[in-house]
Amino acid sequence: MPFKRAVHNIAKDVVREAPAHKTSIISTSYCQSNRDPNGSNNNNTFTSLAVNSNKISEFSYCATEVVAATQTLPPTAPPSTAASSFFGGILVSNLYSSTTPNITSAATSSFETSSPTPSSSSSSAVPSSLPLAVYLEMKKYCRRFLIVITLICLLHSCLLWNSAAAAISNRATNSRPLSNSPQSVTGNQPRFLSRGHTYRSVVGDTLVLPCQVENLGNFVLLWRRGINVLTASNIMVTRDERVRLIDGYNLEISDLEPQDAGDYVCQISDKINRDQVHTVEILVPPSVRATPTSGNLQARKGGPVTLECKGSGNPVPSIYWTKKSGTGKSTARIGDGPILTLEKVERQQAGIYQCTADNGVGEPVSVDIRLDVLYPPDIQVEKSWIHSGEGFEAKLVCIVYADPIATVSWYQNSFLIQSTDRRIMTSRGNRHTLTIRHIQQEDFGNYSCVADNSLGRSRKYMELSGRPGPAEFYSPKWGRSSDSYNLTWKIDSYPPLEEVRLLYRRVLMNDTFQQPGRWHDFILTPEHRPVSEPLTHIMSYTIKNLVPGAYYEAIVQAKNRYGWNEVSDIFQFIVASNSMDIPPEESEVVASSKSRSNTATSSLQGPTLSIQMLLAGLFMVVSCLCERRHQFSLG
């Protein structure tokens, strides 16, 4: 073996350089051996070398010891002395000179290491029978030999590692099929320079899939999708005109369609390289359609209704709902998902609902669904009491909500009104108006607006009257006098007022209850009503002998030639107190101002005090520093 020959050569060099007069045995071993408690070696042996000045011999020896000994030891020498050990057991004994150059034996089974004597405890000590020059020269060669053995061990480890690597490489090479191509001979196999990737493109775009290869040689490169081959080398196999090769073997697909999604494989025909796979995802902008497709939906008032739309795209779009206002603008989001359910729908919920789909590709898209809520007519009147006078004009208005659309009729008392030159009926949307011109006395009375549709009928009443309108008060709530109060009000009346009735009473009030007193009634004659505006009568009256600081209530009723009007709403007022010349609201304002000024003063005093304390502290610190400096200067 190469390793054994190397050991032989090194041993020969050592013997060649050793002095000729030395008769020594050098034994090396490269295995570990275990010694029995009885002193005998076990069977773990390894090839060793025995070297002297005359010959090189091999013998089986336990792989732990290297012994150097002479054939004949002096009588004074110890039986054996161990000098050193290295790398699993290299022992060098004391060397002795002898006149006999032959080696009679190299027995090792009976070799035992004795305990060193005081005179020979150190391996560096020179035996008395050995010349000093000879000992030093032999010691030099022993050290050189140890270095050589170390290098041999390292060389052996490297050889074993290289052998194992070569065996693995041979097995890998033998497992591959042979090829007759030039690449198999030179070792320049084709390989991919590009890598597989996932591409996301929008419908209609152009996509390029890279496939870059080096050392292709005579091999064929294929593009395929599933089992369908698209290209072979530079030849187009597919008939799809949207597919072509550019810049070598890069595959270009134009005008992308949803069905173009999938895996595209770039393949080399050498059966060694893995296929390069590109995954294509086609992003599709959202689309949405309503259910039903007409976009119109009807529901009965009070019942449930379901609005539905379906969205599509890639990725799957999110869907949300809004409702358009009267101006056509969408309101806030009212629901999410493809289905919107309204429980117990009311007429106010009728209108246009918008379903919007959005998936981040392009702009969101929407579809409108019109919801019609079917319900019987619902009537509202602008005024239930209309004041007018003979010779003037009046308008009676009712607003009708109905689906299906209702037909509207007008009645006076229980008689159906026909349209004439003086009585004109008009409609504008859901607003229906009855206009009466040149009112006569027989035109006063009760009127009704009646609306009909297939789901029901509704009626609302109004009154056209010549009586005065209700009084409206203009006086302040707090009086300025401690024993009187001036009331001011206005009344609308086409005919002149014939009589005005004023009623007032005191109300006893505390924190827990109020107890009204009896009404005081005053009748005011027409001379007390100055007319300042047409149809509007502004009147005032001063009530005297009132209790200072007391609460009072007042009502007013007026009469003309058509009769008394409705009693006005109750008006409450407070008489001024003797102890105050200003209303409580003003006193509260003054008190509040004073409290705010006091608060501001206190808030200003707080920071001022803090600043004073800070300045005082700084003064004390400066004083202390000056005093310390003075003491230091004195010291």
The pLDDT score that the predictor gives to residue 139 is 62
User: Which DSSP state fits 478?
Assistant: B
- The CATH number that domain 190-284 falls under is 2.60.40.10
Location of each CATH 2.60.40.10 domain in the chain: 190-284, 292-373, 382-465, 472-574
**What parts of the chain have a pLDDT lower than 70?**
1-146, 148-187, 328, 511, 513, 526-534, 579-635
**81: part of which helix (H) or strand (E)?**
none
User: Which DSSP state fits 18?
Assistant: S
Torsion of CA 92, 98, 101, 103, to 10 degrees: -50
The pLDDT score that the predictor gives to residue 24 is 40
Question: Which two structure tokens, joined as six digits, stand for 171?
Answer: 């097995």
Distance between CA 244 and CA 235 in Å, rounded? 10
The pLDDT score that the predictor gives to residue 140 is 66
The pLDDT score that the predictor gives to residue 167 is 52
**285: part of which helix (H) or strand (E)?**
strand 276-291
The pLDDT score that the predictor gives to residue 265 is 95
The pLDDT score that the predictor gives to residue 151 is 65
What is the per-residue pLDDT across 98-149, written as a single tens digit (0 to 9) for each?
333 333 333 333 333 333 433 333 344 444 444 566 556 666 666 666 676 6
Find how far residue 532's CA is from the centre of its chain.
71
What is the per-residue pLDDT across 326-371, written as a single tens digit (0 to 9) for each?
776 777 888 999 999 999 999 889 999 999 999 999 899 999 999 9
Angstrom distances, CA of residue 429 to CA of 271, 375, 410 = 81, 17, 17
- How high does pLDDT run on average in the chain? 73
292-373: CATH architecture? Sandwich (2.60)
Surface-to-core class of residue 611, CB atoms within 10 Å of its CB (0-12 exposed, 13-18 middle, 19+ buried): exposed
- The CATH number that domain 472-574 falls under is 2.60.40.10
Q: Does domain 382-465 have CATH number 3.40.605.10?
A: no
CB 60 within 8 A of CB 66: no
The pLDDT score that the predictor gives to residue 355 is 94
Residues written for the chain? 635
Task: Answer whether the bond into residue 404 is a cis peptide, omega within 30°.
Answer: yes
